Amino acid sequence: LALRSLTALREPPPARSACLRLLRHPCSGEPLDRSLVLWFPGEGSDPGAHGVCVRVSVNLHQSARVLPIVLTMLFAIQGPQSFTGEDCMELHVHGGPAVVSGVLQALGSVPGLRPAKAGEFTRRAFAHGKLSLTEVEGLADLIHAETEAQRRQALRQLDGELSQLCQGWAKTLTKALAHVEAYIDFGEDDNLEEGVLEQVDRDVRALEVALSSHLRDARRGQRLRSGANVVVAGPPNAGKSSLVNLLSQKPVSIVSPEPGTTRDILETPVDLAGFPVLLSDTAGLREGAGAVEQEGVRRARQRLEQADIILGMLDASDLASSSSCSFLDTVVAPLVAQSHDSGRQRLLLLLNKSDLLSANAPASSTALPPHLLLSCHTGAGMDALLQALKTELAAVCGDPSTGPPLLTRARHQYHLQGCLDALGRFQLTTDLALAAEALRQARRQLSHLTGGGGTEEILDLIFQDFCVGK
């Protein structure tokens, strides 16, 4: 009733379409704002009878501040047509602070309404079965997505691809469990088809293979979520800092003709070809430098170990120098040697300062591994470098537009591993009751993944990523 007088609507507005209303204070009748009112009915035939959420959207173009401005009522019913599954009224108001506080005060005077907690809308949607836990995570990732690849990945997870995959697996397990239990109950009964247990065994082993292959991919999804480690390394003065500055389009590192200028690791988050990247500039790798620089070199080597992709950089006009040779021998050669291992770090070898080479005297590429010629000064070769980086990043992070849904969180990995471990205990040759229990445990892990029977702490952890209003 109070909401009707607020919006001066005798009837609830038509479902899911915007209508322009003059908002009035429900008690004093004072005009507050001209606002768009949207009504998302839940399932009940009598709208609002069981309570309603109110969500206030502020036009941020007109507001200097972002306000925590969502009010929601305590009672709620389930319904299919709104985000939370409850009746929901959305008020789109102008962003002036006086308007916002006026509307909030008016809403505050409505008995039963209280401000929403951070993430409460999503949590209600989850509680009403409108979203699975992995979909909730997808939504959180979407809100925080900074690059195109992250957005694509988050959207796929929000669309439920990962939870559908898990549900499919869970279904296989449920079926297997039903067969095993039937066998326990009526084992000797002739009514049971021949070979039921053999089929169960085949299904479970096939599931193991599928789970293992997803787990092998797990690092990729996490890289896509938190950024791939790309490290620029090479001898002093090769132009590493110049490249980092070019790629990040800001002066992160000091560029100087004096060798040994970059001594500590400088890292900066960048968006490279749509992929999130943590780009690190390292101290030039050389022997015999002073103590501080030595420490820099030590850290540089350490960082190289953690890199997903290494951009090895040399001065093309200085390939014969001892620092170039030693970099080729100690860093490049071992990386090239292991490049056939699938899980290993990827190397792009770059020869910088191509502008210093005269046209008829190209870099003396005496048996150099495959490389790209580049000039940070003229920009020559940068397009080719970006293209090559994109290919490497897609391999390292996984392509978010195609391929199977990725496991983006350690949590996903944990439960899948748990499921796999449980399946490892499934043996038809031993006690069938134990085999059934293994299947039950495996199924429980999958259900934890999508949020069934999730503990409160995990829910709290996931929902704390949300802001008020989502």
Q: Give the footprint of ligand GDP on this chain (CB under 6 A).
A: 234, 236-242, 255-257, 261-262, 284, 352-353, 355-356, 375-377
Nearer Cβ to ligand GDP (353/443): 353
> For ligand GDP, which is the closer residue by CB, 234 or 469?
234
Binding to Zn ion, residues 131-160 (CB under 5 A): none
Return d(Cα 263, Cα 298) in angstroms, integer: 10
Alpha carbons 366 and 370: distance in angstroms, whole number: 11
Shortest Å distance, C-beta 312 to Zn ion: 14
List of residues 6+ apart from 266 with CB closer than 8 A? 244, 252, 253, 280, 281
Q: Is 28 exposed, middle or buried (0-12, 13-18, 19+ CB in 10 A)?
A: exposed
Residues numbered 257 to 296 that lie near Zn ion (CB under 5 A) are 262
Q: What is the dihedral of CA 340, 342, 345, 348, to 10 degrees?
A: 50
Closer residue to Zn ion (CB): 265 or 357: 265
Query: Residue 58 Cβ, how far from ligand GDP at the closest point, in Å?
Result: 46
Tokens found for residue 372: 């790209």
Asked if 423 contacts 207 with a C-beta cutoff of 8 angstroms, the reply is yes
> Could you tell me the smallest distance in angstroms from the CB atom of residue 209 to ligand GDP?
46
241, 352, 354, 375: which one binds Zn ion (CB under 5 A):
241
DSSP, residue by residue, 406-443: P--SHHHHHHHHHHHHHHHT--TTS-HHHHHHHHHHHH
- The entry of ligand GDP, Zn ion, none near residue 242 (CB within 5 to 8 angstroms by kind) is ligand GDP
CB of 422 to Zn ion, least distance (A): 51
Specify the residue, 382 or 395, whose C-beta has the smaller distance to ligand GDP.
382
First to last CA, the chain: 26
According to the binding rule CB under 5 A, does residue 245 interact with Zn ion?
no
Phi, psi of 35 (to 5 degrees): -135, 160
Nearer to Zn ion, 262 or 323 (CB): 262
Least distance between ligand GDP and beta carbon 132 (Å): 47
Looking at beta carbons only, is 292 or 458 nearer to Zn ion? 292
Q: How far apart are CA 371 and CA 347, in angstroms?
A: 10
Q: Which is nearer to Zn ion, 139 or 304 (CB)?
A: 304
* Burial degree of 340 (CB within 10 A; 0-12, 13-18, 19+): exposed
**In sequence order, what are the residues at sequence separation of 6 or more whose Cβ sits closer than 8 angstroms to the Cβ of residue 152?**
400, 401
3-state secondary structure of 388: helix
Quote the least distance from Cβ 238 to Zn ion, whole Å. 8
Residue 246 CB, nearest approach to ligand GDP (Å): 9
Interface ranges with Zn ion (CB under 5 A): 240-241, 262
